[in-house]
Structure 1
Amino acid sequence: MTFKINYFNRTFSRNKLSLAISTAFILVTTHSVNAAEQDQEKVEDEVEVIEVTGFRSSASKQRDFKRFSENISDGIFAEDMGKMPDENIAEAMQRITGVGIDRVDGEGSTVTIRGVDPSLNQININGVTMTNGGDDNAVNFSTMSADMLSSIEVIKSPSAHHDEGSLGGTVNLKTFRPLELNERKASVSVQTKQNELADETDFAVKGSFADKFANDNFGIATSVFYDEQTVRTDFYNMYNWKVWPNVSATSHQTGENLGKVFAFDPTGFETGTKFNERVRYGGSLTLEYRLDEDNRLWSDLSYSMLTVDEDLYQTRLTALRKDNILDEESGTSFYASSAKAGGNILSRMRETDTETINLGLGYETVIADWVVTAKVGISRADESWPTNNRLNFGQVKESASANWLDENGNIQTVPTLEWNNEYGYFDPTKARLFQIYDDDRSVKDDLDSISIDLQRDVEFGAIHSIQLGAKYFERSKDRSQTIGNTPFTKDSDGNFVYLNDVGQDFPINDFFDGVLDNALEGWMVPDFDYVYNTYLPNGFDGPSDLINTYTIDTEATAVYIEFNYSAFDGKLIGDFGVRYVDTTSSSKGHQGANFPAATGGDSYVVPVDASSDYTNVLPSFNARYVINEDMLLRFSAAKVMARPTPTQIRPGVAIKATNPDNVTAAGGNPYLDPTEATQFDISWEWYFADSGLLSIAGFYKDIDTFIFDKIEEQSFDCPTGTTPENCALLVDVPTKMSDNGSGGEITGAEVSYQQDFTFLPGFLSDFGTIINYTYTDSEASFVDSEETNAEFYDGFPFLKTSKDTVNATLYWEKDGHSVRLAYNYRSDNLYQAVVLDSSIWTDSRESLDLSANFQLTQQLSLNMSANNLTDESDRRYATRTIGKNGLASEGNALTSGTPDWRTAYYANTGRIFRVGVTYKF
């Protein structure tokens, strides 16, 4: 048999990038000739103020913020109160150089900044550090509405007065300040939206109000939002890729019977669909009171509640290691099969509630020439599963196969899954119910902080002012979980319960329609209400899952001093200083194991606790030199740090030994050091004409004590009373734990071009553009001090670091009407470094969004948008990292030319359309 192989070619076309940048430079050069004549009329150091509205107003504020910022930074600004350029905060931020986003079910969730993982970047709202309901430190931006914000700022080069905790950059979310407004603002908007796969029409309403009273000394700004969104995601998941022994195979290249060989294949093949019904509501309230010229009080309150109801229907196929056809070049089975394949049909109904509250209180006064600012911050995040019901049907051994090749011998995006029966999936008359789950989980993240900052003007050479201050915070992360797995054998009459008895039709008839030609057409799914009402009518009060229950307490004190300077008649300005931080962390949890039911099914749990402390000295230097009235040159150097995540420092190890053939363990390391980096930045910025910007920046980060997850064999003490059979399962267990690596480097460059095309003739003068490109090259150490498997991870990049990131916006705006087309590209990046013998990479992704606004009257406007216009999917792929048994390591997929056809995950969410109206009072 002869096959033809066409590997995917998903590399970003640099020709597209070259064309975009070349066009930008041509426009800049063309316009600069005309602008040079007009510049003769400029008054030195005077910035012309032009009244602009809509997205053009947002772009103008973005340009001015970058120009006058004391640090290397970028921002996104609201077009008006209650109207950010994008509805999702993460999706708005991806328009900034150096920022990439991760999506969950089609919506932006977390962000990377200059190649740094989301959990290593600090997020503040009105100066209060935000907590989160997840297991790490990454803030999920989908929990709140972007329209409650006035601006999003990303500080890339810190000063001593900035809070520590960010390795890539600090994100400042700011709501409106009422005393800064020139007039009263009030608006309300109503919107309908639809995800084309879910085929549900949803509703959203938002309102905002701001005004000043008491002779403009008291101000109030408030916003509220209610938002519904139903999303459907179709997916394939080929999980846990590893080198398997004893695979019966025939050579794809020669047809020769190879006998028993080693093959790099997934553990299982999953396919499924899930529906998410999201309801998000909340708002913000800011109060400002100016007592007199020297005294000011304020409070900032924000609240959000996100409820996600998820229905998941999934089928799983495993144990395909018989009669395979092996691609000897890649060591992977193109065709995998078994006469006794295993697997399951799984379904889940889960409700996730995420509640966040952030409160900031501040007072500013002047005491003996010192400007004194005192702040109190309170942040609360609470995430829970009020409902988490799962059903597992299986215990079937059937003839089945997975084929990566189509009928023409070409590699497919996902394998074709086939069962040798009349159903095309596991026989529902044989798939019996054997597990019912009804468990819950709760994560609470509380942070309280207090700070004081002092600043005064001085005359000491070039130093014109001095700042100093201190901050103290306490943070507690509590995680609890119950064991809600109840084995199910037979009903009250002693009969097995088969899927065919309690099933219903697959909920959709267009699974991956128009996306994949070889997708399953569906399978029978259980009737949740019937199963739970019949076989578990009183629910299941499971005991506490102590192994996955823990508390992490962190206390930190920081003090700083900063000097602000000005030299050469104000052409050179900046700051230098140092921040000292002392951190103490303590953790309490449990360690234990769950053993197989065949050997008694017992378990053991023992309490564990640990503590650690560390100090960091963080110097910083920032300089901005005015070359001329249009050009700036910036330089910065700083040492930065980020603390380990709660998951990384959780105490104890959870040993999963219920399957004697696949015993694994996972745990944290409470003695981890924080991640530190020494960074350098340089930026050249040209602000030409009234709206033009061309900037080129370079950055370098030398990262120490990098934290990564490793897997190595460990043996655990066997508690008294444990059977010999179970004790044997605690020897040489593959254990996943966090460790400090030797570090790494991140080097990159950013290019940004922005301009209104007012110099072009006719209707072209109403256009404008913003184009950003970021190049990032990184190398991380995913090895411990003993350099275990060092040769396999040589040259690996940092997680979620794409070499190429592009975002480009083309907009047209006139008389209140506007149209905006936004393009985003992100190249391949490392998703997981260590997964058994493999690494998982995220494939490159392009997206195109369209939005439009039509001013119907002076107060009423119609707006509409379409996200993911080209219906792009999300894909991850696996490579073999650990070389063993004659199969070589494939190394860094970004540089080694490794085949990228082994899909590990593939998902499609479709397009999302929105139509709404806004009325301004």
Structure 2
Amino acid sequence: MKNSMHQRRGQRAGERSSLDLWALTATAGAVTLLLAAGAAQAQQAQADTAAGAQTVVVTGIRKGIEDAISVKKNSESIVEAISAEDIGKLPDASVAESISRLPGVTSQRSFVTGRSQNVSVRGFGPDFNGGLLNGREQASTGSSRAVEFDQYPAELLANIVIYKTPDAAVIGQGLSSTIDMQTVRPLSFAKRAVAVNYRKEKTTKAENAPGYSEGDGDRVSLSYVDQFADRTLGVALGLTKSKSEGGTRPFFRTWGGWVPEVDYDHDNNATTAPIKVKTPGGFTTDLESTNFKREAAMAVLQFKPNKNFESVLDVFYSKGEFSNRKRGLEGPVGGLSAGANDSGGTLTNATIEGDVATSGTFTNWRGVIRNHNEDYTDKLESVGWANKLTVGDWRLNTDLSYSKVKKDATRFETTAGLPGDVNNPNDTITFSGFNGSNLDQVHYTTGLNYADPSLIKLTDVQGWAGATGVQDGYYANPVTTDKITALRLGAGRDMDLGPVKGFDFGANFSKREKERVTREGALIVPGALDANGNVINRFAAADMPGASAGVGGTTGIPVLTWNPAGSLGSVYQLNPWSDADIVAKSWGVEEKVTTGFVKGSLDGDVFGLPLRGNVGLQVQNTKQTATGYSVAGGCDGGTHTCPYTPYSAGHNYTDLLPSANLIFDLGGDQVVRLGAGRVLARADMEDMRGSINVTLNNNTDGNGVRLTASGGNPKLEPFRANALDLSYEKYFGRKGYVSVAGFYKKISTYILRVTTPGVELAPFVTPSTSLPPSGSTVGDLTQPRNGTGGNVKGIELAINLPLNMMTSYLDGFGIVLNHSHTTSSIKLATAGVDVQNIGVTEIPLPGLSKDVTNLRFYYENYGFQIAAAVRKRSQYLGSVSDYQDKTQLVFIRPETTVDMQVSYEFSSGPMKGLSLLLQGSNLTNEKFDQFDPATGQITETKKFGKSYLAGLNYKF
């Protein structure tokens, strides 16, 4: 790697922090206030009843649940839904959190913030979902197409609908699901509505240890809905602003769970052969802190002068600033030489139990102090204008939309330690508490003071640039821009042709342009290079500006820390690199998709059973072009300058996507739904890039001297599947339901990275490419390709009931429970995917947890709203962003998260419309553990602490 060793965090048992006391005090105060208010509310309710007031208005938790049940019950497709409990108030703090509580849905917590971020549906990773806003496809910030839901604040949304079966009239569908986020429609409100929401956030220490701290933040939102011109014109506005200063969190990486066997001279006898003992192999540990801000706005203008015409203009804007600070220590332990400046060490003074050194000291240790910054800003702009017109028996509609996201990231990685080469004095490192496998619990101490500025300098400590290069740090500035413009035209009419009661048809034209441009290279201290960029002193060192004493991650070892932001030009100069893997990160993809669709609405009887639903067909023609660079491999590794030339290619293909949704009414509020169709998910755009790296293989694998190449594939087609769904649902009006659903997806094409021999590589050969003696340009090409897949199947159980249906003594209580069990026959070779820290040759389908369970228990009465939620997810193959800004697949251990909230709403008196809220998240401080499935060893671990929100909402 070009910048530093991988990073990892450790964890220690925590004790109650001052924030826990704050939370207990706040809870006690809130409960006291709520009880007092509740008593007054109960007396008022009794008075109203005595006076004959019998009107029941459903609000809060029940309103959100009943509205969502209504959406599910009346939909022609198999869907799940979330509805706002009130204006500007989804049931959770984030969209991803709310979605992840639905049947068959779960989320992965961010490895940086600990918050739910990526959503998986029915065992598929986030890239297999379609992401929509008001029915329109949305741009994304990553190399994939998965929408980042934290860009859409929950306060600005009214509903979220997840389509589990395809619908021919829905554009931008995914293979596993289609997630449609919806803003309010102001004319659906009976009158003006205004709500102001403020919440104060606190996060506990992840552990009670030196260097750890608490975090805090706040969020405020304003929602306004109104109607004008005799209710023909409606306006909705939403504003939200949030900021969070996260506390420090521990991170520990075990270098892949590596436990080396090293020589140990146990009796100090030169004539006796040393014995082999196991020791820790190396570690990376940081204390991380995250800060982020987000400002967002939503506006809706709805005009409906009569029943025949409606025009709606939607605008959504979101801008975020994110910063992640990493301060820590890393280095090899087990006698390893990890760089050109490191000779490795010798084990001394060890305590041996069996074949394990439970403690000992290694000589010649060269520790690396890490002061890293990872910052980015993102900006989302989404606009849509929809019109509906009825002329006679015909319905006409148009929809013009635009979605753009830009993400500008900057990464500083700086290294500090003892300057000089292997001949300079080095340190010692002592370890203890090792049992052969507990790498994240070993205790380390060093011989030198790493917080001494007279010893510690900014320098290339290990010599990671090699014996001829220099790398005192690393800098990267990737910028990703994604833009979608679309126009939809449609028409339809009612008819009476047997069971077909109407039809709709139309076309959608969309153009998507996504590009990623990066500038990267080594950070160099003064005196290392001459004016021409040549290395003159690779051991050059510099003082650390504004240094202060900190902590070397979970080791507790004192180290020097500083903030490298803005140091390019003042402390460092940049030596830009153009290695093949770096050049390959700059690419562009353009897609033009024309979709024609026709959909028939069904309403009739089949075998004596009432039937409704739809059948339809989409025809999608895709024209795609990808750009990138052809890079000559084997360039000078010391200067990191590879020549490259632009390259582009394209492809054109057509898909037929039939669909059917049939709903049989069994009577007694019971229905059976049958869904069938063909679905697809388009490829990760980074896999489609036009970048190709060609190098000469000098028979290193025994298959002869020849050219080998690797890169993207501009001719890549989508993942495709045939889907079958069956669902039984029993409703109790709008109050509750129970359901059992099963699904089966047959993946006909899956994208894998494979090597194809005998490919003509002449189009990718540059003048700098070295050819074999034969001069042949035929060789092996490794790239993503469409291959065969397998099946994914599962069953989903759901119960959503108010408990007063069983007995009036439980009035106000309710339960929402669902469980999904999913399996897949798909097994992927690790050679075909980018997966880290594993010792197996085959992996399961990314994103699949076999078992996911969600439980939400609530009480709502007399103004009180109390809810507790538990989410349990079995182990799975998730994804994280690595140190090179690439998406890496990682195995994640099972986890259970617990959340709770208590609120009270005043419904009468001078405080009418005011709600008080106390909310707790991750109350068990659940760890985020990555592991190697071959050994069970934890490879990376992190804790995030508990989060508490205290706030108020005022509606008038």
- Measured against the shorter chain, the TM-score band is 0.7 to 0.9
Task: Between 541-550 and 210-219, report the one with greater CA deviation.
Answer: 541-550
Q: CA deviation at 1:565?
A: 1.3
Of the three residues 832, 836, 857, the one matched with 1:810 is 857
Mapped to 2, the partners of 1:704 and 1:749 lie a distance apart of 21
Is contact 2:820–2:851 with CA below 8 Å preserved after alignment?
A: yes
Q: Counterpart of 1:418?
A: 444
Of the three residues 147, 152, 166, the one matched with 1:139 is 147
Is contact 2:797–2:818 with CA below 8 Å preserved after alignment?
A: yes
Determine if the alignment matches structure 1 residue 858 to structure 2 residue 884. no
Shift of the 530–556 alpha-carbon distance from structure 1 to 2, 3 Å rule, reads: closer
Is contact 1:742–1:785 with CA below 8 Å preserved after alignment?
A: no
Determine if the alignment matches structure 1 residue 462 to structure 2 residue 499. yes
Q: Counterpart of 1:641?
A: 680
Query: Match of 1:478, SS?
Result: strand
Determine if the alignment matches structure 1 residue 910 to structure 2 residue 945. yes
Is contact 1:120–1:165 with CA below 8 Å preserved after alignment?
A: no
Query: Match of 1:671, SS?
Result: coil
| Paired residue type of 1:868 | N
Of the three residues 926, 942, 946, the one matched with 1:872 is 926
Q: Counterpart of 1:747?
A: 793
Query: Match of 1:132, SS?
Result: coil
* Aligned Cα root-mean-square deviation (Å): 4.4
Q: Counterpart of 1:688?
A: 732
Of the three residues 106, 129, 137, the one matched with 2:137 is 129
Task: Between 196-205 and 839-848, report the one with greater CA deviation.
Answer: 196-205
Mapped to 1, the partners of 2:622 and 2:576 lie a distance apart of 37
Give the total of aligned pairs.
823
Q: Counterpart of 1:379?
A: 403
Is contact 2:129–2:681 with CA below 8 Å preserved after alignment?
A: yes
Q: Provide, for residues 602-647 of structure 1, a one-character-per-residue CA deviation record: whole Å limited to 9, x for no partner.
A: 4211221111122111111111111113211111111001111111
Q: CA deviation at 1:65?
A: 1.6
| Paired residue type of 2:142 | G
Determine if the alignment matches structure 1 residue 62 to structure 2 residue 65. no
Q: CA deviation at 1:413?
A: 6.3
Query: Match of 1:701, SS?
Result: strand
Is contact 1:286–1:299 with CA below 8 Å preserved after alignment?
A: yes
Query: Match of 2:811, SS?
Result: helix
Is contact 1:380–1:446 with CA below 8 Å preserved after alignment?
A: yes
Q: CA deviation at 1:473?
A: 0.3
Is contact 1:320–1:401 with CA below 8 Å preserved after alignment?
A: no
Q: Provide, for residues 640-680 of structure 1, a one-character-per-residue CA deviation record: whole Å limited to 9, x for no partner.
A: 011111111111146899xxx9xx99732222221001111
Q: Counterpart of 1:17?
A: none
Shift of the 601–869 alpha-carbon distance from structure 1 to 2, 3 Å rule, reads: closer
Q: Counterpart of 1:798?
A: 845
Is contact 1:324–1:335 with CA below 8 Å preserved after alignment?
A: no
Is contact 1:750–1:774 with CA below 8 Å preserved after alignment?
A: yes
Q: CA deviation at 1:224?
A: 0.3
Q: CA deviation at 1:547?
A: 3.8
Shift of the 389–834 alpha-carbon distance from structure 1 to 2, 3 Å rule, reads: closer
Query: Match of 2:88, SS?
Result: coil
| Paired residue type of 1:379 | S
Q: CA deviation at 1:336?
A: 11
Mapped to 1, the partners of 2:135 and 2:81 lie a distance apart of 16
Q: Counterpart of 1:29?
A: none
Q: CA deviation at 1:358?
A: 0.8
Query: Match of 1:414, SS?
Result: helix
Mapped to 2, the partners of 1:589 and 1:89 lie a distance apart of 35
Task: Between 605-614 and 432-441, report the one with greater CA deviation.
Answer: 432-441
| Paired residue type of 1:563 | G
Percent sequence identity over aligned pairs:
21
Q: CA deviation at 1:393?
A: 2.6
| Paired residue type of 1:552 | V
The residue correspondences of 1:289-304 to structure 2 (distance < 5 A) are 289-304=303-318
Q: CA deviation at 1:384?
A: 0.6
Shift of the 685–336 alpha-carbon distance from structure 1 to 2, 3 Å rule, reads: farther
Mapped to 1, the partners of 2:356 and 2:794 lie a distance apart of 35
| Paired residue type of 1:742 | T
| Paired residue type of 1:347 | N
Q: Counterpart of 2:242?
A: 227
Mapped to 2, the partners of 1:258 and 1:66 lie a distance apart of 70
Shift of the 91–833 alpha-carbon distance from structure 1 to 2, 3 Å rule, reads: closer
Superposition TM-score, scaled by structure 1 size: 0.80
| Paired residue type of 2:165 | S
Is contact 1:547–1:605 with CA below 8 Å preserved after alignment?
A: no
Task: Between 95-104 and 492-501, report the one with greater CA deviation.
Answer: 492-501
Shift of the 714–230 alpha-carbon distance from structure 1 to 2, 3 Å rule, reads: farther
Mapped to 2, the partners of 1:713 and 1:508 lie a distance apart of 51
Q: Counterpart of 2:802?
A: 756
Shift of the 831–646 alpha-carbon distance from structure 1 to 2, 3 Å rule, reads: same
The residue correspondences of 1:88-103 to structure 2 (distance < 5 A) are 88-103=94-109
The residue correspondences of 1:68-467 to structure 2 (distance < 5 A) are 68-104=74-110, 105-197=113-205, 198-232=213-247, 234-238=249-253, 241=256, 248=262, 269-318=283-332, 320=334, 339-340=363-364, 344-385=368-409, 387-393=410-416, 406=433, 409=435, 411-412=437-438, 414-416=440-442, 418=444, 420-423=446-449, 429=455, 432-434=458-460, 435-467=472-504
Mapped to 2, the partners of 1:587 and 1:760 lie a distance apart of 60
Q: CA deviation at 1:368?
A: 4.0
Query: Match of 2:71, SS?
Result: helix
Q: Counterpart of 1:630?
A: 669
Shift of the 462–795 alpha-carbon distance from structure 1 to 2, 3 Å rule, reads: farther
Shift of the 476–117 alpha-carbon distance from structure 1 to 2, 3 Å rule, reads: same
The residue correspondences of 1:6-85 to structure 2 (distance < 5 A) are 51-85=57-91
Q: Provide, for residues 541-562 of structure 1, a one-character-per-residue CA deviation record: whole Å limited to 9, x for no partner.
A: 9689754221110011111111
Mapped to 1, the partners of 2:750 and 2:315 lie a distance apart of 35
Shift of the 285–770 alpha-carbon distance from structure 1 to 2, 3 Å rule, reads: same
Is contact 1:320–1:337 with CA below 8 Å preserved after alignment?
A: no
Mapped to 2, the partners of 1:735 and 1:832 lie a distance apart of 26
Mapped to 2, the partners of 1:854 and 1:653 lie a distance apart of 60
The residue correspondences of 1:417-816 to structure 2 (distance < 5 A) are 418=444, 420-423=446-449, 429=455, 432-434=458-460, 435-488=472-525, 490=527, 502=545, 504-507=547-550, 519-528=555-564, 535-536=571-572, 546-568=583-605, 571-592=610-631, 601-653=640-692, 667-688=711-732, 691-709=735-753, 720=767, 737-759=783-805, 764-783=810-829, 796-816=843-863
Is contact 2:900–2:921 with CA below 8 Å preserved after alignment?
A: yes
Q: Provide, for residues 872-914 of structure 1, a one-character-per-residue CA deviation record: whole Å limited to 9, x for no partner.
A: 110110134xxxxxxxxxxxxxxxxxx42x1122111111111
Q: Provide, for residues 246-267 of structure 1, a one-character-per-residue CA deviation record: whole Å limited to 9, x for no partner.
A: 9646899xxx999899x9998x
Q: Counterpart of 1:892?
A: none
Is contact 2:927–2:941 with CA below 8 Å preserved after alignment?
A: yes
Query: Match of 1:81, SS?
Result: coil
Mapped to 1, the partners of 2:473 and 2:695 lie a distance apart of 19
Is contact 2:198–2:220 with CA below 8 Å preserved after alignment?
A: yes
Mapped to 2, the partners of 1:573 and 1:777 lie a distance apart of 31
Mapped to 2, the partners of 1:137 and 1:656 lie a distance apart of 31
Q: CA deviation at 1:768?
A: 0.9
Shift of the 597–559 alpha-carbon distance from structure 1 to 2, 3 Å rule, reads: closer
Q: Counterpart of 1:920?
A: 955
| Paired residue type of 1:917 | L
Q: Provide, for residues 57-106 of structure 1, a one-character-per-residue CA deviation record: whole Å limited to 9, x for no partner.
A: 11111222211111100101101111110110000101101111122211
Is contact 1:282–1:305 with CA below 8 Å preserved after alignment?
A: yes
| Paired residue type of 1:615 | T
| Paired residue type of 1:161 | A
Provide structure 1 residue ranges, at least 5 long, that are not aligned to the other structure: 1-48, 326-330, 513-518, 881-898
Provide structure 2 residue ranges, at least 5 long, that are not aligned to the other structure: 1-54, 206-212, 267-271, 337-345, 349-354, 461-471, 531-535, 701-707
Q: CA deviation at 1:916?
A: 1.1
| Paired residue type of 1:535 | V
